[in-house]
Structure 1
């Protein structure tokens, strides 16, 4: 069991089905890069972290984390609405990575992560 598994089961129990917006992230060197995005209709709680990670690996990207957002409080949303909301989310995240804090942020092991403010780094002088 991972934090992802706990979140998925709890959210499904609350909603009896929901649409999730997924943003695959590259993490490293103090950077958070948006790599790929998709939406998924969750109609059961039987997908576990290893299967989800396989799907994320299928993106072909070297990812370090993923952030997931419910597409709406109404539960399941239509594909066209999910696509529009995902596009809006990607544009918002492009401008402000701190919005990741509003989602469910997981590492490659399916464990919750937290996005902290970066401390300013002093310039390196040669």
Structure 2
């Protein structure tokens, strides 16, 4: 059962707005934040075919990753017709995203990045 339904997290608002354009595939990267470092931990993809899910449901799903995480970045992707991408394409795009993150953690800001409470996050460049 969802624990955040009705709380209106940043994630919930983001998902509702994005889903108005229809189903999509989301590339997901879980990270550990130990300032000043942000380290990718796990990645996966999911096909989003409805907006009935909320942040509490996402947190329950991400527990299956088996790691303690501080942030989750979502990168929506669609096929040429605006729908779900095939699994092979999602895996390929996820590998490309992982490579980009190894080169530059600021890549996280190109997605929708949330903390464990579903609030927006942004990676800042260290000086």
Normalised TM-score (structure 2): 0.88
RMSD, matched Cα: 1.1
2:3 corresponds to: none
For structure 1, the 5+ residue unaligned runs are 120-126
2:112 corresponds to: 104
CA apart distance, 1:50: 0.5
> For 1:15-94, what aligned pairs fall within 5 Å after superposition?
16-72=22-78, 74-94=82-102
4+ long deviations beyond 3 Å? none
CA apart distance, 1:101: 1.2
For structure 2, the 5+ residue unaligned runs are 1-7
CA apart distance, 1:75: 3.1
Mapped pair 1:6 → 2:13:
yes
How many residues of Structure 1 are paired with residues of Structure 2 in the alignment? Answer: 118
Report Cα offsets for 1:74-101 as digits up to 9, x if no partner: 3311111000000110011111111111
In 2, distance between residues paired with 1:101 and 1:11?
16
CA apart distance, 1:60: 1.0
Normalised TM-score (structure 1): 0.89
